[in-house]
Chains A and B, each alone.
Chain A
């Protein structure tokens, strides 16, 4: 089966600009997660979709971040306007269950650099 696909793989934008990241989960995986790793720290949870519904968005840093998953398939994460501290690697993951039985399958990530 195809894995989790993320694009772009890299993005360099100026402070104040908008960037949209996309994630295509494994087909049939209802659960989709966004995580972020900033400056070599832990991989930090951002939010969790179950199909098209936001199950948990407690990790979203602020209202400059907007995630959507229309139709319960692919998801987008928009940062608008981007700030310097948003730089990092954004990972998407998907799972059949809520992660407690089979774990997650991660995409390769999008490295975002805000200059």
Chain B
């Protein structure tokens, strides 16, 4: 069935440095890839998304890249700040009309 794999499961970076989270997907018909951020005690919140007709999208310090041939997509956070600490989930919109999530990455920003 459809599957989204996410790495790493935990990531610790120095404040001000960049963080990269990588995902792969199995459903070649997937055409929409959202990223969610989950803070403690809250539900996942959509932070950025990318569609299959573009290779890169940027929103301030956050960028996503998509390689459809390799079925890879990545989240890049630059100039990390303490408020970036959270669990991040990648996801793919499958041909079965539902969003399939990765296993999450716990990002910690060291002061």
Q: Interface residues, chain A, CB within 8 Å of chain B?
A: 4, 6, 33, 35, 37, 40-45, 48, 55-56, 58, 91, 93, 98-101, 103-109
Inter-chain contacts of B104 with A (CB < 8 A): 37, 40-43
> Quick check: which of B12-20, B39-47, B59-67, B68-76 contacts chain A, the rest being far away?
B39-47
Contact between A106 and B97, CB atoms less than 8 A apart? no
* Interface flag for B100 (CB, 8 Å): yes
Question: CA separation between A44 and B4, bound complex, in Å?
Answer: 11
Contact between A43 and B32, CB atoms less than 8 A apart? no
Contact between A106 and B98, CB atoms less than 8 A apart? no
Q: Interface residues, chain B, CB within 8 Å of chain A?
A: 4, 6, 31-32, 34, 36, 41-46, 49, 89, 93, 96-104
Question: CA separation between A37 and B104, bound complex, in Å?
Answer: 10
Q: A43-B89, A109-B43 are in contact. Are A99 and B101 (CB under 8 A)?
A: no
Contact between B98 and A33, CB atoms less than 8 A apart? yes
Question: CA separation between A104 and B43, bound complex, in Å?
Answer: 11
Q: Residue on A with the closest CB to B5?
A: A42
Q: A42-B102, A56-B98 are in contact. Are A99 and B43 (CB under 8 A)?
A: no
Contact between B42 and A108, CB atoms less than 8 A apart? yes
Contact between B93 and A99, CB atoms less than 8 A apart? yes
Inter-chain contacts of B89 with A (CB < 8 A): 42-43
Output the residue of B32, B96, B98, B101 with the most chain A CB within 10 A: B98
Contact between B96 and A99, CB atoms less than 8 A apart? no
Q: A108-B41, A108-B43 are in contact. Are A103 and B98 (CB under 8 A)?
A: no
Output the residue of B41, B46, B89, B101 with the most chain A CB within 10 A: B101
Contact between B46 and A103, CB atoms less than 8 A apart? yes
9 additional A-B pairs beyond A56-B97, A58-B96, A106-B44, beta carbons within 8 Å, are: A6-B43, A40-B104, A42-B102, A45-B99, A93-B43, A99-B97, A104-B34, A106-B43, A108-B42
